[in-house]
Structure 1
Amino acid sequence: MSIGHTAADASQIGEAVAAGARMSTHLGNGAHLMLPRHPNYLWEQLAQDELWSCVIADGFHLPDQVLKVVLKVKGEQALLVSDAVAISGLEPGVYKTHIGGDVVLTSEGKLHLAADPRLLAGSAQMLLWGIAHLNRRGLADFPTAWEMASTRPARLMGLPVAEGLSIGAPADFVLLDSMQADGRIPLRQTYKAGKIVYDRSQQSL
């Protein structure tokens, strides 16, 4: 059970944790533009030791300072999510979506409502983008950023892949090329249960 975009007060968040909530979804996003200095639901979720924090690190949803604070406070309980929508990977332009209507994908990779550039319409970037952003901005080294998007979420959910590349664990892994000058991390191959399911040289299998 996870606390999503919320307007809960501190006592309600405490009650949710006591009832079994274990994660904050998109922490810092879907939030009011103006909040009380303290208490507020962002501080309270960070302060709850039982809550893992899931953040979007696409460079647009959260400033680096917020990401840095979440990583410092939550440590091994900091997780990475993409919030990628259906138009991820498409060229910059104006698109129509079932949520938000007309949206704009900029050349920098930001996705916002056409009617108001200040309001995001999800993200057009996948997890590799977020991993690269954390690493490129010096917020996390590559192994830590990778774990935030892979074995840590699996550990929270009690999945066997939480063991990573260990004897007896599912052989789910990817093969990457070195980070490029523009910060992107090219994906070469993807394996599921030891079998290749994607090969860039063949596009797909």
Structure 2
Amino acid sequence: MTVSIGHTAATAEQIKEAVASGARMSTHFGNGAHLMLPRHPNYLWEQLAQDELYSCLIADGFHLPDQVLKVVLKVKGEKAMLVSDAVYLSGMPPGEYTTHIGGRVVLTPQGRLHLAEQEKILAGSAQMLLWGIEQLAGRGIASLADAWDMASVRPAGFMRLPAAAGLSAGAPADIALFRRDGGKLRIERTCKAGEIVYRDDSGKGDR
């Protein structure tokens, strides 16, 4: 069981107490926060200051500005991870949809998902982790290798899973083969325990 701090209004003292009691992560760091906060202390500074806390970041280009992503990566280093916050509308064409939680939402051609009646309020994300990797690498916030690790071996290590060993000898053969096409990443093959479970048969990945 993992205790994570997310969408919180906790005081700095409460966050310190939570970490001392075993909290290990910040979910959706920087999101679900008040529009106005005390300059300091506040719950964002305190979560960054707690060395024991990992930070999960939604790097879809809409939830957090580049400046925040850069600061968190500099402060947290290997303890920065990616999370998608993707809802079931991921992969759908742009348009207006009705959801069972947020009511009417709009998915823009740019890939941003927001409430229909309040454009400034996001309704989750419509992008998967690959998009977040592309954003971090494409904007120069992280190298492609680091961005990929943030979505793969780092979370696996946090959860103490064998996949944390990556490509080392004896590790599970959980592998993704992709091609870089400009700023986009195209998955060509994925393997689980050495067996191909996905293959791009569109012809776009043919050599």
The bucket for the TM-score relative to the shorter chain is: over 0.9
Structure 1 residue ranges, 4+ long, deviating more than 3 angstroms after superposition: none
Query: Within 1, Cα distance between the matches of 2:18 and 2:179?
Result: 42
Q: Which residue of the partner structure matches residue 45 of structure 1?
A: 47
> Normalising by structure 1, what TM-score?
0.96
Identity over aligned pairs, percent: 69
Partner of 2:90: 88
Whichever residue aligns with residue 198 of structure 1, its letter is Y
Equivalent position to 1:120, from 107, 122, 126: 122
Q: Distance in 1 between matches of 2:200 and 2:128?
A: 16
TM-superposed CA distance for 1:202, in Å, is 7.2
Partner of 1:167 in structure 2? 169
- Measured after TM superposition, the shift of residue 184 of structure 1 is 2.2
Hey, what does 2:194 align to over in structure 1? 194
Residue 159 of structure 1 deviates from its aligned partner by 0.6
Q: Distance in 2 between matches of 1:84 and 1:173?
A: 22
Matches within 5 A, 1:72-83: 72-83=74-85
Partner of 1:15: 17
Q: Please, which runs of 5 or more residues in structure 1 have no aligned partner? A: none
Aligned counterparts, 1:172-187, within 5 A: 172-178=174-180, 180-181=181-182, 183-187=183-187
Q: Which amino acid aligns with 1:197?
A: V
Give the TM-score, by structure 2 length: 0.95
Amino acid at match of 1:52: Y
Q: Which residue of 1 aligns with 2:4?
A: 2
Quote the residue 1:110 is aligned against.
Answer: 112
Q: CA RMSD in A?
A: 1.2
> 1: distance between equivalents of 2:196 and 2:100?
33
- Letter paired with 1:133: Q
Give the drift of 1:98.
Answer: 1.5
Structure 2 CA distance for aligned equivalents of residues 84 and 144 of structure 1: 21
